[in-house]
């Protein structure tokens, strides 16, 4: 591999080998701030529909009609994972809908920190929905710290209680299919979202709707319908277009065998 | 204050982590700060374990007390928590059965009960894969048919017997499957999802650092 044009890390305070990442961060931040500003000013921003998110309210409505609970799992990772934070953000929106419809909600978690954050978010959602009296601390429950103990507990719940709607949003690993197939067998409508590409096929096979990759992170902004949040999504789209252009330039340069310097700009050192 | 303080903490820690990424950890004071912050996270995580234990015991005890449906399982849960935790927390100096070393009660329970149960749970995955694959691969549509054909080829390539079968036709087939299906179509799609997810994660992180995204605190 050719050596990066930015050179190797030396004794200096600044890591010159990461200038490429810094440039990307600056452009990305600028794009997000710019689109957020435009959104604040009221410029219309088009966002494509995400069927999985559109289906959430309908799925909670189904649970209400059937008189059965909604099961929400914010992944099985710790709170320091961005996937879990995304899951917790979506939980807030879902809890607001279940509070409005007075539908029981059950949120099993694997880590105590997620428990604390989940309880806070659900409580705020019930207050916001004007139904604080319906909030119960045990809506969000710590069930087990081990991956498969957690899975066994949740699967047991699904088969005994048969929730009408199962929502999986966050980081999932080997248990993804165990959960989703059990939910399918229990006859629940299922909506999943994860950024782990290796777990996506399992969710796609077993769930009714699946949010793929970036859609998980976009969900809280999408569900909020707040222009300021949607500005961030448009900034993301701008970066994607930029990356596509850079990939096309790279392909052309590789075809003409003159991509050595260009490729070194994107190397991780 | 209830909102401002967490937002300030999120902003400061976020900025510190971003800055340290671009600085040499050995020579930067900020590098030491980021390490300190990670240590704090571990310590806070350890303390919050108590929250989890209290939650599981309270919910289970309520079911036992009110004799709710399946209360007997809740009782087993409570007993399991106590039987695992108490001998594990007692000092080894009192007895070789205490603590978590080899030969202790905790170790015996973990190796002979918990580990086999978790392994069993994991092993059932094979059956779940079979039922999910059956549903996904039903050739009802053109997309499902393509999925079925591709999956069959990949499965043949992955298992020795299948590879031997493919070799009957041409020894190049396994290599072609590897190159074009796994290293071509599959990898391209995976990279697309990974790039999108990375951008999404970065955008969300930025929204959190700047205080635009507050939904994780229950605020809008």
Confidence at residue B22, expressed as pLDDT on a 0 to 100 scale: 87
Which residue on chain B is closest to A88 by alpha carbon? B216
Which tokens belong to B71?
A: 């209360």
Confidence at residue A200, expressed as pLDDT on a 0 to 100 scale: 94
Does residue A247 have a pLDDT over 70?
Answer: yes
Closest CA of chain B from A78, distance in Å: 9
Q: Give the 3-state secondary structure of residue A105.
A: strand
Q: Give the 3-state secondary structure of residue A84.
A: helix
Mark yes or no for CB contact A12/B24 under 8 Å: yes
CB pairs under 8 A between A and B: 202
Portion 78-137 of A in contact with B at CB < 8 A: 78, 80, 82-83, 85-86, 88-89, 92-93, 111-113, 115-117, 120-125, 128
Confidence at residue B212, expressed as pLDDT on a 0 to 100 scale: 84
Mean pLDDT throughout A141-163? 94
Does residue A3 have a pLDDT over 50?
Answer: no
The DSSP bridge partners found for residue A70 are A105, A165
Portion 129-168 of B in contact with A at CB < 8 A: 129, 131-133, 135-136
Does residue A94 have a pLDDT over 70?
Answer: yes
A160 interaction partners in chain B (CB closer than 8 Å): 69-70
Confidence at residue A156, expressed as pLDDT on a 0 to 100 scale: 94
- pLDDT tens digits, one per residue of B114-158: 999 999 999 999 999 998 888 888 777 888 888 889 988 988 888
Percent of chain B with pLDDT over 70: 95
Confidence at residue A10, expressed as pLDDT on a 0 to 100 scale: 52
What structural domains does chain A harbor?
A: 16-44+232-264 (no CATH), 51-224 (3.40.50)
B10 interaction partners in chain A (CB closer than 8 Å): none
Domains of chain B, by residue range, sit at 4-89, 127-217
Which tokens belong to B149?
A: 């054909």
Q: How remote is the C-alpha of A82 from its chain's centroid? A: 8
Does residue A9 have a pLDDT over 70?
Answer: no
Mark yes or no for CB contact A113/B44 under 8 Å: yes
Q: How far apart are CA A186 and CA B28, in angstroms?
A: 55
pLDDT mean across residues, chain B: 88
Nearest to B79 by CA among B115, B113, B118, B120: B113
Confidence at residue B13, expressed as pLDDT on a 0 to 100 scale: 87
Confidence at residue B220, expressed as pLDDT on a 0 to 100 scale: 64
Does residue A118 have a pLDDT over 80?
Answer: yes
Q: Give the 3-state secondary structure of residue A234.
A: helix
The more confident residue out of A9 and A46 is A46
Mark yes or no for CB contact A178/B24 under 8 Å: no
Closest CA of chain A from B156, distance in Å: 19
Residue ranges in chain A assigned as alpha helix (H): 19-40, 51-66, 82-101, 112-128, 147-161, 175-185, 200-206, 214-224, 227-255, 260-264
Closest CA of chain B from A88, distance in Å: 6
Closest CA of chain B from A61, distance in Å: 22
B48 touching A, CB under 8 A?
yes
The radius of gyration computed from the CA coordinates of chain A, to the nearest angstrom, equals 22
Mean pLDDT throughout A39-45? 85
Confidence at residue A134, expressed as pLDDT on a 0 to 100 scale: 95
The DSSP bridge partners found for residue A192 are A168, A210
- pLDDT tens digits, one per residue of B61-72: 999 999 988 899
Confidence at residue A1, expressed as pLDDT on a 0 to 100 scale: 41
Select from B52, B136, B154 the residue whose CB has the most chain A CBs within 10 Å, as the one to mutate to test that interface. B52
Nearest to B14 by CA among A173, A151, A162, A85: A85
Confidence at residue A178, expressed as pLDDT on a 0 to 100 scale: 96
Mark yes or no for CB contact B216/A89 under 8 Å: yes
Confidence at residue B102, expressed as pLDDT on a 0 to 100 scale: 92
Confidence at residue A7, expressed as pLDDT on a 0 to 100 scale: 47
- A234 in Cβ contact with A227 (< 8 Å): no
Does residue A53 have a pLDDT over 50?
Answer: yes
- B100 in Cβ contact with B88 (< 8 Å): yes
Confidence of residue B195 (pLDDT cuts 50, 70, 90): very high
Residues 6+ apart with CB under 8 A from A96: A125, A126, A128, A129
Which residue on chain A is closest to B22 by alpha carbon? A15
Mark yes or no for CB contact A178/B121 under 8 Å: yes
The more confident residue out of A45 and B102 is B102
Confidence at residue B28, expressed as pLDDT on a 0 to 100 scale: 57
B18 interaction partners in chain A (CB closer than 8 Å): 25
Confidence at residue A2, expressed as pLDDT on a 0 to 100 scale: 44
pLDDT mean across residues, chain A: 90
Pick B212's closest partner by Cβ from A160, A180, A228: A228
- pLDDT tens digits, one per residue of A69-90: 999 999 999 988 999 999 999 9
Nearest to A121 by CA among A110, A134, A137, A133: A137
Mark yes or no for CB contact A148/B203 under 8 Å: no
Which residue on chain B is closest to A112 by alpha carbon? B52
Q: What is the dihedral of CA A72, B128, B69, A119, to 10 degrees?
A: -20
- pLDDT tens digits, one per residue of B24-50: 877 656 667 777 888 888 888 888 888
- pLDDT tens digits, one per residue of A191-212: 999 999 999 999 999 999 999 9
- pLDDT tens digits, one per residue of A99-117: 999 999 999 999 998 999 9
Closest CA of chain B from A258, distance in Å: 23
Mark yes or no for CB contact A88/B216 under 8 Å: yes
A206 touching B, CB under 8 A?
yes
Percent of chain A with pLDDT over 90: 72
Q: How far apart are CA A27 and CA A132, in angstroms?
A: 43
ipTM rounded to 2 decimals: 0.86
Pick B52's closest partner by Cβ from A21, A121, A145: A145
A236 touching B, CB under 8 A?
yes
Select from B17, B215, B220 the residue whose CB has the most chain A CBs within 10 Å, as the one to mutate to test that interface. B215
Angle between helices B71-89 and B29-65 (to 10 degrees): 140
Mean pLDDT throughout A245-264? 93
């Amino acid at each position: 591999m050719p050596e990066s044009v930015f050179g190797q890390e030396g004794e200096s305070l600044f890591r010159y080998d990461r200038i490429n990442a810094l440039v990307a961060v600056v452009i990305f931040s600028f794009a997000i701030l710019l689109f957020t500003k435009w959104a604040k000013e009221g410029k219309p921003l088009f966002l494509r529909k995400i069927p999985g998110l559109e289906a959430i309210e309908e799925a909670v409505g189904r649970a209400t009609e059937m008189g059965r609970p909604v099961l929400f799992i914010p992944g099985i990772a710790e709170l320091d994972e961005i996937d879990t934070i995304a899951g917790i953000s979506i939980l807030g929106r879902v809890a607001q809908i279940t509070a409005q419809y007075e539908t029981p909600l059950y949120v099993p978690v694997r880590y105590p920190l997620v428990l604390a954050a989940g309880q806070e978010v659900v409580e705020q959602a019930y207050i916001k929905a004007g139904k604080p009296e319906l909030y119960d601390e045990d809506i969000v429950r710590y069930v087990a710290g081990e991956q498969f103990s957690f899975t066994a507990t949740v699967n047991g719940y699904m088969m005994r209680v048969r929730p009408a709607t199962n929502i999986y949003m966050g980081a999932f690993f080997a248990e993804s299919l165990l959960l989703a197939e059990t939910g399918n067998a229990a006859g629940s409508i299922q909506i999943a979202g994860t950024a782990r590409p290796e777990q996506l096929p399992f969710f796609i096979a077993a769930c009714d709707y699946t949010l793929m990759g970036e859609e998980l992170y976009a969900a809280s902004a999408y569900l909020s319908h707040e222009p300021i949040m949607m500005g961030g999504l448009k900034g993301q789209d701008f970066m994607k277009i930029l990356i596509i252009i850079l990939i096309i330039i790279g392909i052309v340069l590789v075809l003409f065998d003159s991509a050595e310097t260009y490729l070194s700009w994107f190397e991780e050192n | 204050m209830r909102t401002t303080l967490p937002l300030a903490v999120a902003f400061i820690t976020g900025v510190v982590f971003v800055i340290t990424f671009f600085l040499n950890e050995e020579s930067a004071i900020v590098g030491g700060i980021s390490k300190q912050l990670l240590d704090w996270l571990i310590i806070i995580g350890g303390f919050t374990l108590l929250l989890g234990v209290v939650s599981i015991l309270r919910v289970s005890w309520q079911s036992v007390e009110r004799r709710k449906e399946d209360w007997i399982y809740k009782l087993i849960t409570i007993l399991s928590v106590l039987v695992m935790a108490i001998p594990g927390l007692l000092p080894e100096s009192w007895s070789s059965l205490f603590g978590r070393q080899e030969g202790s009660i905790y170790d015996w329970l973990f190796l002979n009960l918990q580990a086999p149960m978790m392994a069993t749970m994991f092993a059932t995955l094979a059956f779940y894969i079979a039922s999910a694959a059956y549903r996904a691969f039903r050739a009802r549509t053109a997309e499902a048919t393509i999925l079925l054909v591709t999956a069959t080829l990949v499965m043949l390539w992955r298992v020795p017997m299948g590879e031997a079968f493919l070799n009957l036709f041409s020894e190049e087939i396994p290599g072609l499957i590897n190159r074009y299906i796994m290293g071509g179509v599959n990898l391209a799609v995976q990279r697309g999802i990974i790039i999108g997810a990375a951008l999404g994660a970065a955008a969300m992180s930025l929204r959190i650092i700047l205080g635009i995204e507050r939904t994780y605190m229950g605020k809008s």
